[in-house]
């Protein structure tokens, strides 16, 4: 009955032809109908009130959801961004810093960014060049009471930047427990240096177990050379600097003298690369080299003629993505120039904003930056005739041969485009031994070159496969937390569980996988071309 009464009331409203939504109830004619009407009113009253309350609750939540990404910007600014504002670095207002679990301190945007957005502008005078680093170190020596003059030519130009980074790290440590405003003025980039990662996973900082992962790759030899060079560079720089510190009686000068200890000859004799021996200042020097190689930019960006790369604070906080094109440019102004980064791609809100370091192989990325990328399309295979000694030219085999005009030999034989033509040229010189063959023998000589190339590649692949089996036999290392990451492998007790860092293992795996792919590709190309030569020679014999 109640359901039918409600239906009648609703039909009565609709039959009146009104264009507005209404609800009309007939006057009660009895106590029973009055009770029914009261219940009906109560039902619609509470129903309307519930809807109203629900709308009130949902509206703030929607607004909060829409503002969720920009809300991060309303939090206290990151200290590095505060420093940007002080020194005149102009950052896009939608950008903020976030500690990404994979890429570390990274730039994100709170709102979508259209293509051709300029995300950062850095004053040229703020960039760290070899000359500006030299000037700062000279100023430090004067502030410490030294009357001696430093000579710019006394060190390789890049080493002035490395020394400046080392001194900045030591100053940060000193200022954490002492107040020295004069010292803070000398080191103009302390907030910037403070946020350069302390752990940079280039091979310079590999433990013995980690370096063994690179077995039968060019990075073993290059890393050993770099370790030796850092010892020489550190010794030369400190020998130059220490005479400027000893006459001074300031506490910071004494602190520097205590840190810049000479390398113990006995330790050096026992560990010629200082790979297993911890030396604080040498570790700082090696850190500064990795920081420099992983964060430097071409000097042409600020119209500097010196060929030494430079550091651009802020620029180096953007991480690399090959698929994200950007434009680096220098804009001169009346007072000072500005170096700018403009995105040539669109960015969605609440996502990372990427830089592009250009086309580099995983060997370059791992050696100089401490990371690798998926795909490895730009990987190269280093090949040297006569083994891996220091003498001789190094050739680089690429995954895809460059497009070029086909080369026809006598009789119409056409050589395939080679992914490493310079290597073929050297091998041909070895085969010919300066004797020019007759034209009809050109294809046979080419076949001999290919046979020599095949033997070189097979020997290299065999050695690589042996080390690859050892690599694959190592259990994938894991850490329960990032707190277990060794800050320096040389001061951590090595054990099967902690001697290899998981992120480093993954980088080496990508690098080795790319090398294996290139070796197989090189062998396949060589055999295919050899078969082509054999078929052509057989055809020539049949036609005679």
**Domain stops at, among 320, 345, 371:** 371
Same-domain pairing of 263 and 137:
yes
Q: Can you read off the two tokens belonging to residue 461? A: 């692949």
Q: Is 131 helix (H, G, I), strand (E, B) or coil?
A: helix
Residues 76-121 have pLDDT tens digits of 799 999 999 999 999 999 999 999 999 999 999 999 999 999 999 9
Same-domain pairing of 261 and 346:
no
Other C-beta atoms lying within 10 Å of the C-beta of residue 137: 21
Same-domain pairing of 141 and 230:
yes
DSSP string of 378-427, one letter each residue: T-EEEEETTSSSSSS-EEEEESSPPP---EE-TTS-EEPPPS-HHHHHHH
Name the residue range of residue 188's domain: 130-301
Report how far residue 220's alpha carbon sits from residue 210's, in angstroms, rounded to the nearest whole number. Answer: 11
Q: Is 353 helix (H, G, I), strand (E, B) or coil?
A: coil
Same-domain pairing of 144 and 123:
no
Candidate from 7-11, 41-45, 251-255, 441-445 with smallest mean pLDDT: 7-11
DSSP string of 199-265, one letter each residue: ---SGGG--HHHHHTTTTSHHHHHHHHHHHHHHHHHHHHHHHHHHHHTT---HHHHHHHHHSPPPPH
**Domain stops at, among 38, 66, 94:** 66
Contacts 24+ apart (CB under 8 A), 323-330: 324/354, 324/355, 324/356, 325/356, 326/354, 326/355, 326/356, 328/297, 328/301, 329/301, 330/124, 330/301, 330/302, 330/303
Query: Within a domain: residue 307?
Result: no
Residue 334, pLDDT score: 66
Count of domains for the chain: 4
**405 band by pLDDT with thresholds 50, 70 and 90:** low
Q: Which of these, 352, 356, 351, lies nearest to 341 by C-alpha position?
A: 356
Residue 66, pLDDT score: 34
Q: Which of these, 22, 21, 26, lies nearest to 5 by C-alpha position?
A: 26
Residue 44 vs residue 138, higher pLDDT: 138
CATH of the domain at 341: 3.90.1410.10
Whether the CB-CB separation of 190 and 172 falls below 8 Å is answered with: yes
Residue 493, pLDDT score: 46
Q: Is 519 helix (H, G, I), strand (E, B) or coil?
A: helix
Query: Within a domain: residue 22?
Result: yes
Same-domain pairing of 504 and 421:
yes
**Domain stops at, among 275, 301, 327:** 301
Query: Within a domain: residue 144?
Result: yes
Q: Can you read off the two tokens belonging to residue 414? A: 């056409």
Query: Within a domain: residue 501?
Result: yes
Packed helices 157-175 and 130-143: angle between N→C axes, nearest 10 degrees: 50
For the purposes of burial, counting CB atoms within 10 Å of the CB of 122, is it exposed (0-12), middle (13-18) or buried (19 or more)? buried
Report how far residue 241's alpha carbon sits from residue 151's, in angstroms, rounded to the nearest whole number. Answer: 11
Q: What are the strands of the beta sheet with 351-352, ordered from one edge?
A: 95-100, 104-109, 351-352
Whether the CB-CB separation of 379 and 362 falls below 8 Å is answered with: yes
Same-domain pairing of 291 and 317:
no
pLDDT tops 80 at residue 524: yes
Query: Within a domain: residue 114?
Result: yes
Side-chain-side CA neighbours of residue 163 (13 Å):
31
Same-domain pairing of 438 and 467:
yes
Query: Within a domain: residue 377?
Result: no
Report how far residue 167's alpha carbon sits from residue 175's, in angstroms, rounded to the nearest whole number. Answer: 12
Query: Within a domain: residue 72?
Result: no
Same-domain pairing of 134 and 279:
yes
Residues whose CB falls within 8 Å of the CB of residue 216, separated by 6 or more in sequence, listed in order? 463, 464, 466, 467
Whether the CB-CB separation of 375 and 320 falls below 8 Å is answered with: no
> 296-297 and 338-343 as β-strands: parallel, antiparallel, unpaired?
unpaired
Query: Within a domain: residue 73?
Result: no
Candidate from 155-169, 217-231, 430-444 with smallest mean pLDDT: 430-444
**490 band by pLDDT with thresholds 50, 70 and 90:** low
- In the chain the first and final C-alpha atoms are separated, in Å, by 111
Same-domain pairing of 99 and 156:
no
Cα angle vertex 258, ends 254, 264, to 5°?
A: 150
Candidate from 38-42, 93-97, 100-104, 244-248 with smallest mean pLDDT: 38-42
Same-domain pairing of 94 and 135:
no
Residue 421, pLDDT score: 95
Q: Is 487 helix (H, G, I), strand (E, B) or coil?
A: coil
Same-domain pairing of 98 and 25:
no
Residues 23-32 have pLDDT tens digits of 333 334 444 5
Give the mean pLDDT of 219-231: 97
Same-domain pairing of 60 and 82:
no
Residues 376-401 have pLDDT tens digits of 889 999 999 975 555 678 999 999 88
pTM above 0.75, yes or no: yes
pLDDT tops 80 at residue 339: yes
């Amino acid at each position: 009955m109640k359901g039918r009464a409600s239906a009648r009331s609703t039909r009565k409203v609709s039959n009146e032809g009104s264009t507005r939504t209404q609800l009309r109830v007939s006057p009660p004619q009895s106590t029973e109908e009055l009770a029914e009407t009261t219940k009906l009113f109560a039902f619609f009253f509470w129903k309307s009130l519930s809807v109203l309350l629900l709308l009130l609750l949902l509206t703030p939540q929607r607004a909060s959801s829409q503002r969720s990404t920009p809300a991060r910007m309303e939090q206290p600014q990151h200290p590095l961004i505060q420093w940007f504002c002080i020194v005149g670095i102009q950052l896009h207002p939608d950008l903020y810093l976030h500690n990404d679990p994979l890429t570390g301190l990274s730039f994100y945007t709170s709102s979508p960014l259209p293509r051709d957005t300029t995300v950062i502008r850095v004053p040229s005078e703020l960039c760290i060049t070899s000359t500006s680093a030299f000037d700062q170190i000279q100023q430090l020596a004067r502030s410490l009471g030294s009357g001696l003059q430093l000579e710019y030519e006394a060190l390789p130009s890049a080493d002035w930047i490395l020394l400046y980074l080392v001194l900045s790290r030591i100053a940060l440590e000193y200022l954490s427990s002492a107040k020295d405003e004069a010292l803070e003025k000398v080191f103009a980039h302390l907030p910037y240096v403070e946020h350069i990662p302390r752990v940079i996973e280039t091979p310079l900082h590999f433990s013995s177990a980690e370096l063994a992962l690179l077995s039968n790759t060019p990075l073993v030899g290059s890393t050993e050379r770099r370790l030796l060079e850092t010892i020489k560079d550190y010794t030369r720089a400190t020998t130059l600097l220490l005479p400027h510190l000893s006459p001074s009686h300031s506490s910071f000068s004494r602190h520097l003298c205590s840190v810049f200890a000479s390398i113990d000859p006995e330790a050096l004799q026992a560990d010629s690369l200082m790979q297993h021996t911890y030396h604080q200042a040498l570790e700082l020097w090696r850190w500064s080299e990795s920081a420099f190689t992983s964060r430097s930019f071409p000097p042409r960006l600020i119209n500097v003629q010196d060929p030494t790369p430079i550091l651009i604070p802020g620029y180096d906080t953007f991480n690399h993505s090959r698929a994200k094109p950007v434009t680096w440019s220098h804009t001169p102004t009346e007072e000072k120039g500005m170096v700018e980064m403009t995105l040539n791609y669109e960015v969605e809100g609440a996502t990372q904003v990427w830089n592009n370091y250009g086309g580099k192989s995983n060997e370059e990325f791992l050696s100089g930056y401490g990371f690798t990328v998926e795909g490895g399309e730009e990987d190269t295979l280093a090949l040297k005739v006569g083994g891996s000694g220091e003498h001789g030219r190094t050739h680089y085999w690429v995954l895809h041969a460059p497009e070029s005009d086909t080369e026809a030999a006598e009789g119409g034989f056409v050589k395939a485009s080679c992914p490493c033509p310079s290597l073929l040229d050297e091998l041909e010189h070895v085969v010919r031994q300066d004797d020019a063959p007759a034209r009809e023998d050109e294809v046979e000589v080419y076949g001999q070159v290919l046979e020599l190339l095949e033997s070189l590649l097979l020997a290299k692949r065999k050695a690589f496969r042996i080390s690859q089996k050892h690599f694959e036999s190592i259990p994938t290392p894991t850490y329960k937390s990032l707190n277990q990451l060794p800050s320096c492998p040389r001061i951590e007790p090595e054990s099967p569980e902690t001697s290899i860092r998981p992120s480093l293992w993954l980088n080496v795996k990508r690098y080795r996988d790319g090398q294996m792919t290139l070796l197989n590709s090189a062998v396949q190309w060589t055999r295919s071309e050899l078969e082509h030569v054999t078929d052509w020679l057989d055809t020539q014999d049949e036609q005679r």
